[in-house]
């Protein structure tokens, strides 16, 4: 049986809950749930984003799962504000109450935060996104504008975050729930309170940080240039071993520096979207990241001329590098001209 999260928290877009009484009500509420997250983990967990939220907001480490300690029972209890003896969901994969719900409202379900908020604000944008399909039976989807289930997180670990980011940016929901299915699965497979468990918590904290723009300036900087540093370092090594042409190296390294600087500048003037990654840039990256390990390995493998294939790919990458750079500069040029006029 799954242990459901003990600790859940609200990210409030417009105010700190610590000073709720002194400030206006929040316009946007983001509810994030991590399945199988035990409060015992917080002293050892490397979760700077969550801990920052705790310092500036309000929280409790004393709540417990309801019994039985399984997924549907506890997700329902959080969404409905009642225990299983009242809402009636008693099994891991409950889709309907096994016990008669003590209260039934419209949509034929026990009251949820989504239905209550819908009644209070009929025009509100309300959404629910999850990795576990069972969530959809517990949230009263008829009271939401949008609900979606992310693809298999084992294959697409960032899918839920990307879906949530897109939905929040495009629809600006008043209330949205984002429900992760980890660290529960890691806890069952590798054990709770294990290195793998804490590694997953750190990964989830990073997703939260990126989605809600809570990364430190240094973290944001390193995140944007880390892959560039890897590529440039590899090119320098290949150049030292005479496995890449000097002109190709200058094109690739020069472009990485130029595009990084361009994106930083465009972000400062609020036009970062104009130089977002294009398809030519993605193809260039694939060719480049395939070529580099081949050229580093260099020797034939299974009869394949690895060095020759890597050389062809690095030249393709260099050509696409020039083209994608022209695309970026063309998109940025109007903004550069306007800045000059000012």
Task: Check: CB of residue 10 under 8 Å from CB of residue 27.
Answer: no
Give strand pairing partners of 162.
Answer: none
Q: Range with the lowest mean pLDDT among 114-128, 209-223, 316-330?
A: 209-223
User: CA 291 to CA 244: how far, in whole Å?
Assistant: 10
C-alpha distances (whole Å) from 167 to each of 204, 267, 300 are 19, 21, 47
pLDDT for position 16: 33
| Mean pLDDT, rounded, for 137-149 | 94
pLDDT for position 14: 33
Q: Is the pLDDT of residue 17 over 80?
A: no
pLDDT for position 271: 58
User: CA 75 to CA 89: how far, in whole Å?
Assistant: 10
pLDDT in tens, 285-319: 889 889 999 999 989 888 899 999 999 999 999 99
pLDDT for position 272: 56
> 248: which residues sit within 8 A by CB, 6+ positions away?
314, 315, 318
| CATH entry 1.10.10.10 includes domain 9-211 | no
Q: SS3 for 339?
A: helix
pLDDT for position 333: 76
Q: Is the peptide bond before 183 cis (omega within 30 degrees of 0)?
A: yes
| Mean pLDDT, rounded, for 12-31 | 54
pLDDT in tens, 198-249: 999 999 988 888 766 644 455 555 555 677 788 888 889 998 889 999 999 9
Q: Residues 15, 16, 19, 20: is their CA dihedral positive or negative? A: positive
Band (pLDDT 50/70/90 cuts) for residue 278 is: low
Task: Check: CB of residue 14 under 8 Å from CB of residue 54.
Answer: no
User: CA 319 to CA 315: how far, in whole Å?
Assistant: 6
| Mean pLDDT, rounded, for 315-332 | 85
| Mean pLDDT, rounded, for 41-61 | 88
Q: Is the pLDDT of residue 10 over 60?
A: no
pLDDT for position 323: 86
**Domain residue spans of the chain:** 9-211, 225-341
| Mean pLDDT, rounded, for 6-23 | 36
By the 10 Å C-beta count (0-12 exposed, 13-18 middle, 19+ buried), 273 is classed as: exposed
pLDDT in tens, 243-276: 999 999 999 888 888 877 777 776 666 555 556 6
Q: Is the pLDDT of residue 123 over 90?
A: yes
Q: What would the DSSP string read from start to end of 272-318? A: GGGG---HHHHHHHHHHHHHHHHHHH-S-BTTB-HHHHHHHHHHHHH
User: CA 137 to CA 295: how far, in whole Å?
Assistant: 52
Q: SS3 for 64?
A: coil
C-alpha distances (whole Å) from 67 to each of 70, 75, 97, 193, 335 are 8, 12, 15, 21, 59
């Amino acid at each position: 049986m799954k242990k459901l999260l003990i600790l859940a928290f609200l990210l409030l877009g417009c105010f700190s809950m610590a000073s709720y009484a002194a400030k206006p009500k929040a316009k946007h509420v983001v509810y994030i749930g991590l399945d199988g997250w035990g409060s015992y983990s917080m002293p050892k967990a490397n979760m700077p984003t969550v801990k920052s939220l705790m310092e500036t907001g309000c929280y409790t480490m004393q709540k417990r799962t309801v019994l039985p300690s399984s997924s549907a029972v506890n997700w329902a209890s959080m969404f409905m504000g009642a225990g299983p003896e009242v809402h009636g969901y008693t099994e891991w994969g409950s889709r309907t109450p096994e016990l008669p719900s003590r209260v039934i409202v419209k949509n034929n379900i026990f009251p949820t935060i989504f239905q209550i908020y819908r009644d209070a604000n009929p025009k509100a944008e309300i959404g629910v996104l999850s990795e576990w399909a069972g969530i959809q039976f517990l949230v009263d989807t008829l009271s939401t504008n949008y609900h979606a289930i992310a693809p298999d997180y084992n294959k697409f670990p960032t899918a839920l975050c990307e879906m949530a980011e897109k939905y929040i940016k495009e629809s600006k929901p008043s209330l949205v729930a984002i429900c992760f299915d980890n660290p529960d699965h890691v806890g069952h497979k590798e054990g709770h309170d294990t290195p793998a468990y804490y590694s997953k918590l750190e990964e989830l904290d990073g997703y939260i940080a990126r989605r809600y723009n809570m990364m430190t300036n240094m973290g944001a900087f390193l995140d944007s240039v880390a892959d560039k540093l890897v590529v440039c370092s590899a090119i320098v090594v290949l150049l030292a071993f005479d496995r890449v042409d000097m002109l190709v190296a200058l094109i690739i390294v020069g472009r990485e520096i130029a595009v990084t600087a361009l994106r930083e500048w465009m972000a400062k003037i609020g036009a970062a979207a104009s130089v977002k990654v294009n398809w030519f840039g993605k193809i260039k990256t694939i060719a480049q990241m395939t070529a580099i390990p081949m050229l580093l390995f260099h020797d034939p493998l299974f009869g394949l001329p690895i060095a020759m294939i890597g050389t062809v790919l690095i030249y393709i990458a260099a050509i696409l590098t020039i083209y994608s750079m022209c695309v970026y500069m063309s998109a940025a040029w109007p903004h550069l001209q306007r800045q000059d006029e000012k």
